Amino acid sequence: MGKMKGAVCDGKGGIWIQDVPRPVPGDYECLCRIEACATCTGTDRMSIDGKISWASPDRYPALIGHESVGTVIETGAKVRNIHVGDRFLRPAAWYPGEYREGIFSMMGGYAQYGIVTDTEELLKNDPAAKLNGYMKFQQKLPPESEISAVDGTMLITLKEVYSFVSALGIREGHTVSVMGAGVVAMCMCFFSKLAGARVLVAARREEPLRQCVQAGADVPVCTEKEDLVSALKKAAPRGVDFLLDAAGSAEFLAAATPALADGGAVCAYASGLDEEKLLQKIAPPSAWKFVRQPPGENAVHDHFLSLVRMKVLPFSLFYSHVMPLSSIAEGFQLIRGRKAHKIVFTME
């Protein structure tokens, strides 16, 4: 088995590049050359720090990264529906939950090569085959797409957030307050505005708020300078219809609930949100609802390809840096220091 470069973390805050096993495709698998992989700040940092739900000590060292784009360079003997040259989202060095030479896969997109599977042909020949749940997210980009690999990495977060906003039923006439100002918040601002809503965004620092305004927010609320509830009520006198969690902070979300409109919704997106703490601290109107709406990234794929074709999506707005994979440790230092909001790592 050959080797390749991959990003490995220890669950104690360390991440580095080392030689890891290069995947060998099985009969229904295809080998991809991964071209780029973007940071998912929440999941990646929790993985690196050993704070994610599956981060038991026996699962380190671990290969991480999941916002990857790659091109098929080899197909297995029984593959029929994927061809050399096809481009895919989320190729993985090896599938989540698997070990190679003592290294656990937490999706494994920060690597030079990865695997995608012809699930259609596999299930045709073996209907009882057990699929890794990650396979459904490995979706093909059309051959005519002009999207670059760097921009293509943004599709994963964009699809997740779009499916979230769409499922909530946000539309013209609604007022939305996005709580947080990271990349997910920027995407929430963009798609809420695209749906016709009036968009407020609240966060502590001014620079991320400016980026959210670029992404579509109408009113930024800087909590270092303004009282959160007073500012939200001033901007939305009849109340906010949707409070969107973009930071995974129960305290921050709960603090905004006095500005919620009667019948409004408190909406959880981040998987790390402490719902019990939220419900202990919440101060909503008499009629309200709590919604946990998981993103449905794979379900909106075809629609998103039409948005790509129509050039609707401002991809470069959502990442701040492009760096080589060899600089991954430096890149995460930039993120921890809040000098970068999303980085795309390219493979040498």
Nearest Cα to 88, choosing from 108, 105, 73, 104? 73
Domain residue spans in the chain?
Answer: 3-153+319-346, 157-292
Beta-carbon count within 10 A of 103 CB: 21
Pairing of strands 260-268, 288-292: parallel
Radius of gyration from C-alpha coordinates of the chain: 21
User: Quick one: residue 108, left, alpha or beta (phi over 0 = left, psi -120 to 50 = alpha)?
Assistant: left
Pairing of strands 103-105, 343-346: unpaired
Question: Does domain 3-153+319-346 correspond to CATH entry 3.90.180.10?
Answer: yes
Along the chain (348 residues), what's the average pLDDT of each consecutive run of 10 residues? 93 96 97 97 91 84 96 98 97 95 94 98 96 95 86 95 95 97 96 97 95 97 96 97 92 93 90 75 83 85 90 94 97 95 93
Furthest-apart CA atoms within the chain: distance in Å: 64
Cα dist from 305 to 100, 142, 252, 280, 315, whole Å: 34, 8, 35, 42, 13
What's the start-to-end Cα distance of the chain, in Å?
20
Q: Which residues, in sequence order, are CB contacts of 256 under 8 Å at separation 6+?
A: 177, 179, 202, 228, 229, 232, 240, 243
- How far apart CA 79 and CA 98 sit, in angstroms, is 22
**Where does residue 167 rank: exposed (0-12), middle (13-18), buried (19+ CB within 10 A)?**
middle
Q: How high is the pLDDT of residue 1? A: 66
Q: How high is the pLDDT of residue 58? A: 87
Nearest Cα to 56, choosing from 97, 18, 93? 97
Token pair for 88: 């895919």
Q: How high is the pLDDT of residue 270? A: 66
Secondary structure (3-state) at 318: helix
Q: How high is the pLDDT of residue 272? A: 66
Query: Which fold is adopted by the domain 157-292?
Result: Rossmann fold (3.40.50)
Q: How high is the pLDDT of residue 271? A: 64
